[in-house]
Structure 1
Amino acid sequence: MCLDAGDGSGTFSVRPTTAQFYHEHHKQSYRMASRPRGAALIVSNEVFVGEGLGHRPGGAADTGVLRALLSQLGYRVTSVCNSPAQELETRLRDFALSADHRRTDSCVVVLLSHGVEGAIYGVDGKLVQIHDIFQLFDNANCPNLQNKPKMFFIQACRGDRTDRGVDRLDGADAPGCEECDAGKERERTRRGKLPTQSDIICGYACLRGTAALRNTRQGSWYIQALVKVFTERAHNTHVADMLVQYSRRWKERRKESRDGERQQHREGEKERERHRER
C-alpha cells in the first residue's frame, strides 16, 4: 500500500560497539568476528508485469538506505531488482549455496515486493513461498551457515487489510517479528544432530492479514523505522529486541498518522461549515 506522508531517511551513521560491551557480552552472543561480517542480499521488485499488480515506487529508496546500513554494519551487499519468480528462486538458491558463507559469521536477506500471507510475488505475478526460501538456508541445504545467524527482513503485504489501530490497552509490548531459535541453539539430540531449521530470525513489515505501508518517494515505513532503530541500537542491543523497538515505533507512527487524519477531517468539516454559512 502506498502512502505519501512521513519523514525521509536522510543520512545516518551506525554507532560502533565499545570494547567494554563486547568483552562483557561476546560469550553469550553469536561469533561476529569475520571480515566481512557476512553476505547480504537485497531483493527489490518494483516494476511488475503480472496482472493486477501495480508498480512499487519507493523501492529504490529502500534499497539505497539498506545498502548503506548493511555496509556500515560490515556486510558485503548484493542487490537484485525486478526478478520473475523463477529467477528470484534461482538467485536466492545461488546466494544460499555461496562458498563465501564458509568464511563469514552470518547472513542477511531482505525481500521487498508485493506479497500475500506466506509468499511474495515475482514481477511476473507468480508467487514464491516464504517457507521455501527459509528451506534454502536451513541446516540441511546450507551447511556453510550451520550455527550462524540468518536474518530475514520482509517488506511485503500479508493481506489487504490496513491496520488502522485501536486505543491501546496497558500491557506488554508484542514483538514485531517471528523468531525461530534466534540468539540460542536448541539442545542437540543424543546423536549430536542439529535441527533442520535453527538460528533464523525474521522481521515482517506488518501483521498477518494486513497491508504493508510504503511511501512512493521515501520508501517503506518498515525500512525507515528499521534503519533508524539499527542505527541507534545495533551497538548494544540484540536483533530480536531491536525488532520489538521497531514495533513500538510503528505504534507511535500509526498514532501520529491517525491524529493527522483526524485533524485534516476536522479542518475539512470547518471549511465546509464556513461555505454553508456563506
Structure 2
Amino acid sequence: MSAEDTLRRNKTGIQRILCGDDRFILDKVFENDLITKREYNILKSIREDVEGRVVELVDKIMNKGEETCRDFLDLLQTDEDIKSTFPSLSNIQLPGARPLPRPVQVSSSHSEVFLGQDNKNPKMDDLYPLNSQPVGLCLIMNNVNFMSLGVRRGSDKDAQSLAEVFSELGFRALMCKDQTKDQMEQTLTWFSSLNDHALPPQEFRVEEWSGTGFTEPQQPLNHGDAFICCLLSNGMEGVVLGTDENPLAIKHITRTFRATKQSALKGKPKVFLIQACQGYQRVDPEEDNCGGGSIPAEADVLVAIAAGEGFVSFRHVIEGSLFIQSVCQQLRERCPRGEDLLTILQHVKNDVGQKRFPNRPDKILQIPVVAFTMTKKLVLSLHHH
C-alpha cells in the first residue's frame, strides 16, 4: 500500500490523536521541511479550534503527494519526541514495516476511533471487561470550605449528583470532604494501594452513598474492574487545591495510580473527573484551549477537566457546576444506548462549549479538556436496584 493510501485510510485517527498537541506537531512538521514557512505561518494563524488546524495540516501533507506523505508517516513513527507525545501512533505502519504494539489513545476532540478498525461494532476484545459486582469504586473528593477562598457553594450538589449516577452505574460511591493537600495525597495513596478487603482509616473520614445520603461505610472496600475519581475543588494551572490552599499536581494524582505487578488496578480503567478552575482567564473564542499539559503518563487512564489550563470553570451556587452536571446528565442519557465513555465526554464537551455569557452571545463560558491513554473502550451500564 502506498504512503498516500495509508495516510488516507488512517486520516481520521491520525487527526484525532494529533489534536492532543497541535502546536507541537506543527512545529515538528515545519522543522523537517514538510511544509513551507508560509504554510507554517498560515496554519499557526488559524483561529478556529484545535481540530481545524490539524485537519488543515494533514490535508496539506496529502496534497503534496506520495513522497511527502511517506516522509510524514516516517516522522510519526521514528521521531522519539513524537512517539512519546503521541503513543497511539505506534499502531500506524508504513508499507513493509514490522507490526507495532497495540495503540494507546491520547487527547481527542472526536469520538473515539481505533486506527485501522471498524468502530461501528466494537468486539468484546475492544472493551474493558466489567464483570465484578459492584463494578468498582467511585471516590468523590469534595472540598467545600477553604481557609481564605471561602465556601464553594454548589459543590455538595455536584457530589450528590455524581454519587447518584455512579451508583446507578454499579459503583460504590464514596466521598471525602474538606481535605488538606496532605490528606488528599494520603487518601489517594491508600486507595491506589488497596488490594484486600479493608475499611478506610477513620482519619480519612470516608462516607458512602446509601441512596438517600452519605453515611459511614459498613462493608470493607475492594477494587472491582474500574476506578472513578472525582475531584471537586478550587484549582490553578495543572493543580487542584486542598482546603489549606496548598496545590496538588494533577499529574501527581494520576501517577499515584501507576500500574505495578501488585496493583489491583493493573490493566483496568482509571478515570479522573476534575471540577476545578485551571487559572483566571475566561475563554476567548479566538483562542485555542487544548490543555495538553494534563495528558496522563500511565496507561489505561482518562482525565477530564472542567476547563483548559489557565481558564476558569463555572459553578452555580445551588445547581452545581456546568461540567459535573453535564457529565451526570450525559451519562444517564447515553449509557443506556451503549455509548463508550470517551464518546459521552465528547458530548459533555460540546454541551458545555455551547453555553454563552447571558450578555455576550459570542463569548463561550468554558470548554472542558479530555486527555487519555485508554487502550480499550469503557462502556458503563445502568444497574437496576
Within 2, Cα distance between the matches of 1:177 and 1:242?
22
- 8 Å CA contact retained: 1:85, 1:128: yes
Q: Which gives a bigger RCO, structure 1 or 2 (Cα 8 Å, sep 6+)?
A: 1
The alignment status of 1:43 with 2:141, answered yes or no, reads yes
**2:381 maps to 1:261:** no
The residue that corresponds to 2:313 in the other structure is: 212
| Aligned pairs (5 A) from 1:33-72 | 33-49=131-147, 51=148, 53-72=149-168
Q: TM-score by structure 2 length?
A: 0.52
Report how many residues are paired: 215
Q: Could you tell me which residue of structure 2 aligns to residue 155 of structure 1?
A: 275
Aligned to 1:14: none
Bigger radius of gyration among the two: 2
Identity of aligned residues (%): 27
SS at match of 2:150: coil
Q: Can you give the 5+ residue segments of structure 2 that lack an aligned partner in the other structure?
A: 1-120, 198-220, 362-385
**In the alignment, structure 1 residue 132 sits paired with structure 2 residue 252:** yes
Could you list the runs of 4 or more consecutive aligned residues of structure 1 that deviate by over 3 angstroms after TM superposition? 100-103, 164-168, 174-180
What's the counterpart of residue 348 of structure 2?
246
Displacement of 1:176: 11
The alpha carbon displacement at 1:164 in A equals 4.6
Give the deviation of 1:140 after TM superposition: 3.1
Secondary structure, aligned partner of 1:144: coil
Going from structure 1 to structure 2, the CA distance change for 1:34 and 1:176 (only over 3 Å counts) comes to farther
Contact 2:140 2:230 (C-alpha < 8 Å) held by counterparts: yes
Separation (CA, whole Å) in 1 of partners of 2:281 and 2:178: 25
- 8 A Cα contact 2:251 2:294, kept in partner: no
2:128 to 17, 30, 41: 30
Matches within 5 A, 1:221-232: 221-232=322-333
User: Is there any run of 5+ residues in structure 1 with no aligned partner, and where?
Assistant: 1-22, 169-173, 181-195, 264-278
CA distance in 2, matches of 1:133, 1:47: 21
Correspondence list, 1:69-108, <5 A: 69-99=165-195, 104-108=224-228
Alignment of 1:105-120 (within 5 A): 105-120=225-240
Question: TM-score by structure 1 length?
Answer: 0.71
In the superposition, relative to structure 1, how do residues 142 and 215 fare at CA in structure 2: closer, same or farther (>3 Å)?
A: farther
Identify if the C-alpha distance between structure 1 residues 37 and 45 changes in structure 2 by more than 3 Å, giving closer, same or farther: same
The CA deviation at 1:237 is 1.3
Cα distance in 2, alignment partners of residues 127 and 141 from structure 1: 30
User: Which of 108, 111, 121 pairs up with 2:241?
Assistant: 121
Deviation track 1:12-59 (CA, whole Å, cap 9, x = no partner) reads xxxxxxxxxxx964332000111100011000101001x4x2320001
Residues 139 and 197 of structure 1 are in contact (CA less than 8 Å); yes or no, is this contact kept in structure 2?
Answer: yes
